[in-house]
Amino acid sequence: MLYRELARDDKIQRILELIPQKKPFRFIDRIIELDSDRAMGQYTFRHDEWFYQGHFPDQPITPGVILVECMAQIGIVAMALHLMLEEDKVPHEFTTLFQDVQIEFLQTVLPGDTVTVKVEKLFWRRNKIKAKVDLYKGDQLAASGTLAGIGVKDHHAKD
């Protein structure tokens, strides 16, 4: 069955299976919404995450680069995989490379916090994606900006 003929939940499950990042570097617990223009996903930062040991030992906060990675996995990687599948491309033949980030941080994210990333596609052409991303902690905006990436042919991909 073609990807675009799958039910919504089956599409989301397929995308989650295709996302190349794995634990301990996967920052998506679930995808709530995914279509050709928008995505939304969530992640709960667990108290035992590896990066809290040194950032900062007595008052751990989630590093900004990890928040950007969470936003990119939902807003660039998941969205790009979806768009490639919609175009009948074989996504495992591509690697999505991060190209640009412009994020403003407004609040800290602490161990135990669940964040929701809301994504709006700005453009998609020639395997390049740019999206507006907002990261919420509860109903409070914690980070906002744009991310961009490009899918490049992976010459190590297995057939």
Tell me how many degrees the CA angle 82-84-85 measures, rounded to the nearest 5: 65
CA 155 to CA 159: how far, in whole Å? Answer: 11
- Would you state the structure tokens that stand for residue 43, as one six-digit string? 């992640």
Place of tokens 């916090």: 113
Give residues with Cβ within 8 angstroms of 87, minimum separation 6: none
Tell me which DSSP letter residue 112 carries: T
User: Active-site residue among 55, 82, 92, 155?
Assistant: 55
CA 133 to CA 136: how far, in whole Å? Answer: 10
Nearest to 74 by CA among 23, 124, 116: 116
SS3 category, 64: helix
CA 133 to CA 75: how far, in whole Å? Answer: 7
Answer yes or no: 55 catalytic.
yes
Q: Active-site positions?
A: 55
